């Protein structure tokens, strides 16, 4: 069983819809990352969080440490949000250095 599970694997939505991508993990962590990978392949770090919630523009990330679960929300989705979103955790036993990645959620926003 993967230590990091993401759902859904693929998501297609209409422009303007509210998007939620979920990430569950099975071990103790020191931090959780949300990454965005565009069709061209580049990877951008969106959020790092260890508790609570963070917001950047239309993106919101939340984490519940007790439930070992995080969500990434996109409000008023736009075609340019189409990308693969990857959840990664820094395992507590290794500190913040070593990331274990989910398999990603491929998001497609249709105009």
Partner 1 sequence: DAGVIQSPRHEVTEMGQEVTLRCKPISGHDYLFWYRQTMMRGLELLIYFNNNVPIDDSGMPEDRFSAKMPNASFSTLKIQPSEPRDSAVYFCASSASLGVNQPQHFGDGTRLSIL
Closest alpha carbon to 64 in 96, 20, 32: 32
CB nearer partner 1, residue 48 or residue 60: 48
What token pair was written down for 22? 């979920």
C-alpha to C-alpha distance for 77 and 25, rounded to whole angstroms: 26
Torsion of Cα atoms, 76 then 80 then 54 then 65, to 10°? 100
Map residue 95 onto helix, strand or coil.
Answer: coil
Q: Which of 49, 58, 65, 73 binds partner 1 (CB under 8 A)?
A: 49
Give residue for tokens 């099975």: 26
61 binds partner 1 (CB under 8 A): no
45 binds partner 1 (CB under 8 A): yes
60 binds partner 1 (CB under 8 A): no
Question: Cβ 16 to partner 1, closest distance in Å?
Answer: 29
User: Is the distance from CB of 87 to CB of 23 less than 8 angstroms?
Assistant: yes
CB nearer partner 1, residue 3 or residue 17: 3
Select the span of 16-24, 64-72, 75-83, 96-104 touching partner 1 (CB under 8 A): 96-104
95 binds partner 1 (CB under 8 A): yes
Query: Which residues of the chain form contacts with partner 1 (CB under 8 A)?
Result: 30-31, 33, 35, 40-45, 48-50, 86, 88, 94-104
């Amino acid at each position: 069983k993967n230590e990091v599970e993401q759902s859904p694997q693929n998501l297609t939505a209409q422009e303007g819809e509210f998007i939620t991508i979920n990430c569950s993990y099975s071990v103790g962590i020191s931090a959780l990352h949300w990454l965005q990978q565009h069709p061209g392949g580049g990877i951008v770090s969106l959020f790092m969080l260890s508790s609570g919630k963070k917001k950047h523009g239309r993106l919101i990330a939340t984490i519940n440490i007790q439930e070992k679960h995080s969500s990434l929300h996109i409000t008023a989705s736009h075609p340019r949000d189409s990308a693969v979103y990857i959840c990664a955790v820094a395992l507590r036993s290794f500190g913040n250095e070593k990331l274990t990645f989910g398999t990603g959620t491929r998001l497609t926003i249709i105009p």
